[in-house]
């Protein structure tokens, strides 16, 4: 039996998933945004020293076609686009753009978003009717409480449909007024069947979000930036909790934050590999869980 080695660079990524016996990768935490929005996001990260206290070099600040080509070379068979608004009046426009993006990029999961505003119920319903398969919420950037009453009909509808929602709700890499486990616990007490995907494994409140994934049947965790050298220096994960992460094998999904990551994509996979949770865990996280959630065949 040969020993599986982690990928040494992006060109080595297909070798890695093939040796695991997979058809490719399913990445639930990827961002493709309108050009003018994407440029502003990259400008923010480029000033990482100011915002995060550390440099945040952008590994994939490339034109859209080149980013798509990179996805293909890596073997990412399905990925989200995850738009998110930072103020009222943006979400419906972002949803229109994301619907068009999904039409012209066949591997893209039709993504949508929302914000606590009176129009949210209507445009979320419209996005679902148009085929949205995944939603994105960013509590820290949006600076809102996910329990805002304006969102009650939205959460009720998403609980009913079982549509996955990737939600950045942990207090890392930046704390927000409404980040952390308390608002999310309150939300799940009201809507316990929500299909939530906790971004970044809830960093740095990893343990609290492991609790929620253990307690609620439809709560998942994504691996975005988790266990990488970059994140471990800022918000390390307590290795004493690895057995809990192993036990949640069927509820952990590959996420990357591509393209706005400060290291090569291969490093995210290598970071998960060195957790030493076994090949079955890796197969579940890199392909099977995402493929099951979104009915991906190849």
Domain residue ranges of the chain, discontinuous segments joined by + = 10-294
pLDDT in tens, 10-30: 999 999 999 999 999 999 999
- pLDDT at position 238: 98
| Domain 10-294, CATH number (from 3.40.50.450, 3.40.50.261, 3.30.70.270, 3.20.20.140) | 3.20.20.140
Residue 1 has pLDDT above 90, yes or no: no
Residue 130 has pLDDT above 80, yes or no: yes
> Stretch 205-220: mean pLDDT, rounded?
98
- pLDDT at position 251: 98
Q: What are phi and psi of 294, to 5 degrees?
A: -115, 10
- pLDDT at position 175: 95
pLDDT band at 297 (very low <50, low <70, confident <90, very high): confident
pLDDT in tens, 239-268: 999 999 999 999 999 999 999 999 999 999
**pLDDT, mean over the chain:** 97
Q: Residue 227 burial by CB count (10 A; 0-12/13-18/19+): exposed, middle or buried? A: buried
Q: Give the distance from CA 55 to its chain's centroid.
A: 22
Identify each DSSP E strand in 108-159 by its residue range. 111-113, 134-138
Tell me the pTM: 0.97
> Stretch 123-146: mean pLDDT, rounded?
98
Q: What are phi and psi of 256, to 5 degrees?
A: -130, -30
> Stretch 97-106: mean pLDDT, rounded?
98
Radius of gyration over every alpha carbon of the chain, rounded to an integer in angstroms: 18
């Amino acid at each position: 039996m040969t020993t599986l080695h982690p990928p040494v660079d992006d060109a080595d990524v297909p070798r890695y998933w093939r040796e695991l016996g997979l058809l490719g990768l399913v990445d639930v935490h990827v961002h493709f945004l309108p050009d003018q929005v994407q440029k502003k996001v990259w400008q923010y990260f480029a000033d990482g020293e100011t915002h995060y206290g550390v440099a945040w070099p952008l590994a994939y600040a490339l034109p859209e076609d080149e980013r798509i080509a990179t996805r293909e070379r890596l073997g990412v068979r399905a990925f989200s686009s995850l738009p998110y608004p930072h103020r009222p009046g943006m979400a419906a426009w972002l949803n229109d753009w994301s619907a068009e993006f999904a039409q012209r990029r066949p591997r893209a999961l039709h993504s949508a978003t929302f914000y606590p505003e009176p129009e949210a119920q209507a445009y979320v319903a419209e996005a679902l009717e148009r085929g949205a398969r995944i939603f994105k919420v960013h509590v820290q950037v949006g600076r809102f409480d996910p329990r805002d009453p304006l969102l009650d009909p939205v959460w009720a509808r998403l609980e009913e449909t079982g549509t996955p929602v990737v939600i950045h709700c942990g207090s890392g890499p930046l704390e927000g007024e409404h980040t952390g486990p308390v608002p999310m616990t309150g939300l799940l007490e009201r809507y316990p069947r929500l299909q939530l995907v906790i971004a970044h494994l809830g960093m740095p409140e990893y343990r609290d979000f492991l609790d929620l994934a253990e307690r609620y049947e439809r709560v998942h965790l994504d691996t975005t930036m988790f266990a990488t050298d970059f994140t471990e220096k800022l918000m390390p994960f307590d290795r004493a909790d690895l057995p809990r992460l192993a036990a949640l094998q069927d509820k952990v999904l590959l996420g990357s934050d591509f393209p706005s990551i400060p290291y090569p994509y291969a490093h995210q996979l290598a970071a998960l590999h060195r957790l030493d949770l076994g090949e079955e865990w890796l197969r579940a996280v890199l392909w099977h869980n995402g493929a099951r959630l979104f009915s991906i065949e190849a």
